[in-house]
Amino acid sequence: IAGITQAPTSQILAAGRRMTLRCTQDMRHNAMYWYRQDLGLGLRLIHYSNTAGTTGKGEVPDGYSVSRANTDDFPLTLASAVPSQTSVYFCASSASGGEGYEQYFGPGTRLTVT
Amino acid sequence: AQSVAQPEDQVNVAEGNPLTVKCTYSVSGNPYLFWYVQYPNRGLQFLLKYITGDNLVKGSYGFEAEFNKSQTSFHLKKPSALVSDSALYFCAVRDMLPTGANNLFFGTGTRLTVIP
């Protein structure tokens, strides 16, 4: 079934450690996104990528980095985790142009930084 | 910047009754509006969108939404609620990032509980 996969499903991480959240899509969508979901705040955009080889900052980019080496993969890295990065992280993708405005979401990664 | 507001954190409705989940928007230009549903421990699922055309948009699982330009609203509706509709619902508006990428600005969500 086509869609987006994320790994790991959940993780407990010590503060100061480095962590990469993985995201892979098989829909050949050009655009990909990383959001964090926090209670009472909805979803907030961390970083995005219009197409392979390009990335951009969203609403809350500090402490996070991304890369987009190919169309399918869009990993999110926390260089040195802090407790405020405890959240649920969702990867999403969308087709570019035309009617492709809706985004499709992965199942999420629940991250706890202690 | 574009934004949406969901004025109700929680909506309770009896099974079989009609349901409404409210959303208002603030945009410059034409609004592109979306509804998503999130079930426990799952990602968001796309329900429907309004881009242009008829003000009543039909989507998945029997949901529909009414676009009202004068009231800047895009309320989600269903004629007869099911217990399985209990979930978290998000309204979103298309936002254009400086690079030209399409982004979605999400509301804070409304938790719908359908009571048997």
Q: What is the pLDDT of residues A62-112, one digit of tens each?
A: 999 999 999 999 999 999 999 999 999 999 998 875 555 788 999 999 999
> In this predicted structure, what is the pLDDT of residue A90?
96
Alpha-carbon dihedral sign for residues A104, A40, A83, A14: negative
> In this predicted structure, what is the pLDDT of residue B100?
65
Q: How far is B60 from chain A (nearest CA, A)?
A: 14
- CB within 8 Å: A105 and B45: yes
pLDDT band at B96 (very low <50, low <70, confident <90, very high): confident
Average pLDDT, chain B: 92
Candidates A10, A106, A22; CA nearest to B46 is A106
> In this predicted structure, what is the pLDDT of residue A42?
83
Q: Are A81 and A13 in contact (CB under 8 A)?
A: yes
Chain B CB contacts of A102 below 8 Å: 34, 46, 49
Whether chain B has a CB inside 8 Å of the CB on A69: the answer is no
Candidates B65, B87, B88; CA nearest to B76 is B65
- CB within 8 Å: B44 and A101: no
- CB within 8 Å: B108 and A41: yes
Instruction: Give residue for tokens 């790991």.
Output: A8
> In this predicted structure, what is the pLDDT of residue B94?
87
> In this predicted structure, what is the pLDDT of residue B98?
73
- CB within 8 Å: A31 and B44: no
How far apart CA A21 and CA B97 sit, in angstroms, is 23
* Per-residue tokens: A96: 């570019």
pLDDT band at B53 (very low <50, low <70, confident <90, very high): confident
* Three-state SS at A8: coil
Within its chain, how far is the Cα of A48 from the centroid? 8
> In this predicted structure, what is the pLDDT of residue A101?
75
- CB within 8 Å: A48 and B43: no
pLDDT band at B19 (very low <50, low <70, confident <90, very high): very high
pLDDT at residue B101 greater than cutoff 60: yes
- CB within 8 Å: B102 and A94: yes
Average pLDDT over residues B9-35: 94
Q: What is the count of residue pairs from A and B with beta carbons less than 8 Å apart?
A: 58
- CB within 8 Å: B44 and A58: no
How far apart CA A67 and CA A24 sit, in angstroms, is 12
Q: What chain B residue is nearest to A30 in terms of C-alpha separation? A: B101
Average pLDDT over residues B84-92: 96
* Per-residue tokens: B59: 């989507």
pLDDT at residue A4 greater than cutoff 60: yes
> In this predicted structure, what is the pLDDT of residue A85?
97
Beta-strand pair A76-78/A104-105: unpaired
* Three-state SS at A110: strand
Average pLDDT over residues B52-68: 93
> In this predicted structure, what is the pLDDT of residue A68?
97
The pLDDT > 70 percentage for chain B reads 97
Q: What chain B residue is nearest to A42 in terms of C-alpha separation? A: B108
Average pLDDT over residues B107-111: 94
pLDDT band at B56 (very low <50, low <70, confident <90, very high): very high
Q: Are A64 and A91 in contact (CB under 8 A)?
A: no
Q: What chain A residue is nearest to B108 in terms of C-alpha separation? A: A42
> In this predicted structure, what is the pLDDT of residue A99?
52
Chain A CB contacts of B100 below 8 Å: 50
How far apart CA B92 and CA B36 sit, in angstroms, is 8
